[in-house]
């Protein structure tokens, strides 16, 4: 899958019943994140973290869905551990579905398998820690691929999504380590002549030896 490709529609069994992906993600941004297997320690911390961040994803109109190569019954049992680990009550509804990709067909189709991480149970490659951020028109907008042994930073995923949502609306880009509220950079395609109208909060050029004036900083357009 390349950035900008249309993410294929698919049907899957999940811990919340059968879904058709495009119908499920209709009119929302969505994030699919995959896991090596159920009842594994790093995965448990990751799914618990995403459960804790459910409100943060919802307020950005982002639906999240996990994928693991075990059965729905296994997911349902594992969710009890994840709830406990994240401090939820057993009776709380788990905030997002987990896809049961037991035959690995989706993991294979989406390039999520890690040939270097072999399951001790089956001798087959496990799923890597993939993240796909998909926009409301089903286009892939961001992807990450981590090995099984490295848990992801969901703060970073939220930060990257905030940048995506911002740069969708305004002709800005976000610099290294940017976070919401920090200054942004005017995109290189914007001519200097358009700056006063497009960036009424002002633009400041950073002096560098080339003198090319290409580093143009501006306050984040949609915060006061
Ligand atoms: C884990 O989730 O803890 C894990 C899974 C596969 C390999 C290593 C770690």
- For residue 41, the ligand 1 atom closest to its alpha carbon is 3
Q: Return the structure tokens found at 53.
A: 């961040």
- For residue 35, the ligand 1 atom closest to its alpha carbon is 2
pLDDT of residue 59: 96
Q: What is the pLDDT of residues 92-118, one digit of tens each?
A: 999 999 999 999 999 999 999 988 888
pLDDT of residue 214: 98
**Is residue 126 within 8 Å of residue 37, measured between CB atoms?**
yes
* Sheet strands side by side (includes 11-14): 17-20, 11-14, 98-100, 62-68, 29-35, 129-134, 140-146
Question: How many Å lie between the centroid of ligand 1 and the Cα of residue 40?
Answer: 5
From 42, 68, 69, 81, mutation site for ligand 1 pocket: most ligand atoms within 8 A of C-beta: 42
Question: How many Å lie between the centroid of ligand 1 and the Cα of residue 127?
Answer: 10
- Nearest residue to 95 via CA among 65, 67, 124, 71: 65
For ligand 1, atom 9, the nearest C-alpha belongs to 149
Question: How many Å lie between the centroid of ligand 1 and the Cα of residue 84?
Answer: 19
For ligand 1, atom 1, the nearest C-alpha belongs to 42
Pairing relation of β-strands 125-127 and 113-118? antiparallel
pLDDT of residue 21: 98
- Nearest residue to 43 via CA among 132, 142, 150: 150
State how far the Cα of 143 lies from the Cα of 5, in Å rounded to an integer.
11
Question: How many Å lie between the centroid of ligand 1 and the Cα of residue 148?
Answer: 5
State how far the Cα of 216 lies from the Cα of 185, in Å rounded to an integer.
5
> The pTM is what?
0.95
Question: How many Å lie between the centroid of ligand 1 and the Cα of residue 218?
Answer: 42
Question: Chunked in runs of 10, what are the mean pLDDT values of the chain (224 residues)?
Answer: 96 98 97 96 98 98 97 98 98 98 95 89 91 98 95 98 97 98 98 97 98 98 90
From 34, 35, 39, 43, mutation site for ligand 1 pocket: most ligand atoms within 8 A of C-beta: 43
State how far the Cα of 6 lies from the Cα of 15, in Å rounded to an integer.
25
pLDDT of residue 117: 87
pLDDT of residue 107: 96
State how far the Cα of 56 lies from the Cα of 210, in Å rounded to an integer.
42
Measuring from each residue's beta carbon to the nearest atom of ligand 1, which residues come in under 6 Å?
36, 40-43, 117, 126, 148-149
- Supply angle C-alpha 151, 146, 61, rounded to 5: 75
Question: How many Å lie between the centroid of ligand 1 and the Cα of residue 137?
Answer: 33
pLDDT of residue 119: 86
Q: How far is C-alpha 169 from the geometric centre of its chain's CA atoms?
A: 19
């Amino acid at each position: 899958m390349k950035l900008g490709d249309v993410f294929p529609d698919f049907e899957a069994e999940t811990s919340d019943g059968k879904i058709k992906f495009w119908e499920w993600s209709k009119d929302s941004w969505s994030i699919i994140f995959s896991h090596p297997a159920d009842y594994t320690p790093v995965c448990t911390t990751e799914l618990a973290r995403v459960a804790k961040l459910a409100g943060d994803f919802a307020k950005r109109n982002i639906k999240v869905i996990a994928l693991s190569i075990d059965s729905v019954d296994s997911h349902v049992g594992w969710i009890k551990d994840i709830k406990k680990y994240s401090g939820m009550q057993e009776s709380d509804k788990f905030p997002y579905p987990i896809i049961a990709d037991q035959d690995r067909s989706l993991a294979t189709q989406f390039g999520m398998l890690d040939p270097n991480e072999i399951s001790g149970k089956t001798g087959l490659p496990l799923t890597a820690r993939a993240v796909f951020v998909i926009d409301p028109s089903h286009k892939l907008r961001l992807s990450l691929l981590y090995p099984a042994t490295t848990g992801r930073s969901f703060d970073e995923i939220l930060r990257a999504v905030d940048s995506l949502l911002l740069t969708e609306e305004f002709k800005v880009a976000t610099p290294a380590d940017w976070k919401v509220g920090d200054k942004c950079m005017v995109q290189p395609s914007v001519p200097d002549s358009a700056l006063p109208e497009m960036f009424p909060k002002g633009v400041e050029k950073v002096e560098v030896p080339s003198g090319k004036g290409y580093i143009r900083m501006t306050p984040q357009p949609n915060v006061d």
